[in-house]
Structure 1
Amino acid sequence: MEAEGGITSSLKLAIDGPFGTASEDVFRYEVVVLVGAGIGVTPFASVLKSVWYQTSQGQGDVFTKKIYFYWLCPETQAFEWFADLLQSLEGQMTEKGLADFLNYNIYLTRWKENEAAHFRVHHEAENDPITGLKQKTLYGKPNWDNEFTNIGAKHPGTKVGVFLCGPTVLGKALARQCLSHSEGGVEFIFNKENF
């Protein structure tokens, strides 16, 4: 290549990729745990829609049979757009007799149980007053030790994919849980999502 002024230059360009995200690996596990913290729920919206679409269409190549979804959020404002998706999935799963396909747990992390008690007393209804979902919103933070113990007990002999899109501190805690609960035939495999 000749540059301006008669000087010859060469340009080298190297391209590597494409690289997928950890969430693409969701489809490789029969049982999946998705943990989104705050806006970290974003990549899981498409994962949930995609897995459900393939499952509801009866596509035989869908390996994922059970999803445990956790969304940790400090305030209620973030729930609006994603609660709509969960309401739609909840209705479709019930309609198709697959209500057990998705187990979701939404946590308001800045609210404590005693602060929420007054709110719940005045808003007792079939659906959660905050999200409109049948599953009630939880307050505080999950007890990960209990959650992993329960999931492991329900799925012995299974490789469980654990996916996080959230802060590093939470990632370290989940990675530790994966290691300590991979026993008795169940294996938890940690994957970190970045975006």
Structure 2
Amino acid sequence: MSPGDLLDKHEVAYNDFVSVHIKVHQANPNSWTRKLKDYIELLNPGGSFPYYFTQRNERGEVEVGRLLGPDGQQVITVDGPHSAPSEHYNEYGTVMLIGAGIGLTPCSSILSALLKFRWKKNFRPEILHFYWVVRQSDVDGFQWFIRRLTELEHGLKRDREQEQVDRRYYAEINIFVTGAKEKRDVQPMRGGKRLVYSDALTQPSFADEDLYAAMLNPTVSSKEATAILGDPERAESAPNRFQDIFVWNGRPIWSEIFAQVKENRVDRNIGVCFCGAPVIGAALGENCRLYSSEEEDCLFTLHKENF
């Protein structure tokens, strides 16, 4: 086992069963987590918790666990297993990491591994382009990730100042907020106190509340993304910039993004790791084919996990 592999291990990986923990976002009654909770509660008529599923085996004995629900169908089915992008991102010097919807969770793990651990150990990839596509109506449900990004960015800034992360490591995080047609009222974030670093030697470039407010009401069109990112002076002073993070209003224009990554590449092989809806995966696959060129010595390789 290589030293890099040790960073990807977790204690639950050594159990002989699969354990799934699901967090329900109460703010959105139409979320899949809320619907799953409501369905599971229907199987618990007593309404007392914790509740354990049971069934009788062939001998009539009560066992923990249940396969079928009242309708005769499996209570839960798993669409898989599938190869995960997290298995391949460390094979490249440059990676385009894309997350959408619930596919953000594996992306969060990759970001944490890179920014908190792997870059300090001089592991690949050295260049990270992260793209997060999220609807304005879903932003509230991802407050946990907004806090995570804020913490990761502060940690990366500190590590850079203390020269724990080499200058060759580059992170660019683009958040594309879709469906932002109306101005939203910005309420205080839920789930704890505001992140404070008053005693830290390295002060943060922004607060989690600032990033949250910018995502609720994005002001810079995604149509300007490649033009701004391609101009160092405009990118440095962009009003939608939060350290390494840029918040855009609208969908990503993948053709322009791929063209820009190709033009500025330092590696021949570029990994494209995606977790999310199949429609985005199809668009990424098409652009990988379109912008790969043997003559120009450039190859985009897609690794996707559909949800």
Instruction: Give the TM-score of the pair, scaled to structure 1.
Output: 0.75
Deviation digits for residues 10-33 of structure 1 (CA, Å, limit 9, x no counterpart):
xxxxxxxx9752222111011111
Q: Aligned pair 1:153/2:263, yes or no? A: yes
* Residues 19 and 174 of structure 1, relative CA distance in 2, 3 Å threshold: closer
The answer to whether the 8 Å contact 1:34/1:69 transfers is yes
Deviation digits for residues 53-92 of structure 1 (CA, Å, limit 9, x no counterpart):
33343x24x1210111111111221331111111112112
Q: Specify the alignment match of 2:297 in structure 1.
A: 185
**Alpha-carbon distance in structure 1 between the residues aligned to 2:266 and 2:289:** 15
Q: Specify the alignment match of 1:94 in structure 2.
A: 157
Deviation digits for residues 158-178 of structure 1 (CA, Å, limit 9, x no counterpart):
211101111111111100000
Amino acid at match of 1:46: S
Amino acid at match of 1:107: F
* Residues 65 and 157 of structure 1, relative CA distance in 2, 3 Å threshold: closer
Deviation digits for residues 131-168 of structure 1 (CA, Å, limit 9, x no counterpart):
59713421110010110011111115421110111111
**Alpha-carbon distance in structure 1 between the residues aligned to 2:215 and 2:299:** 33
The answer to whether the 8 Å contact 1:157/1:185 transfers is no
Query: What is the 5 A alignment of 1:1-195?
Result: 21-57=84-120, 59-60=121-122, 62-75=123-136, 76-97=139-160, 101-111=170-180, 127-128=210-211, 129-130=213-214, 134=242, 135-183=245-293, 184-194=296-306
SS at match of 1:42: helix
Higher relative CO (Cα under 8 Å, sequence separation at least 6) belongs to 1
State the aligned residue count. 168
Amino acid at match of 1:188: F
The answer to whether the 8 Å contact 1:68/1:104 transfers is yes
The answer to whether the 8 Å contact 1:71/1:106 transfers is yes
The answer to whether the 8 Å contact 1:40/1:166 transfers is yes
**Alpha-carbon distance in structure 1 between the residues aligned to 2:286 and 2:82:** 26
* Residues 54 and 20 of structure 1, relative CA distance in 2, 3 Å threshold: farther
**Alpha-carbon distance in structure 2 between the residues aligned to 1:64 and 1:156:** 12
**Alpha-carbon distance in structure 1 between the residues aligned to 2:171 and 2:267:** 20
Unaligned runs of 5+ in 1: 5-17, 120-125
4+ runs of 1 displaced by more than 3 Å? Answer: 130-133
SS at match of 1:130: helix
Unaligned runs of 5+ in 2: 1-58, 60-80, 186-205, 217-240
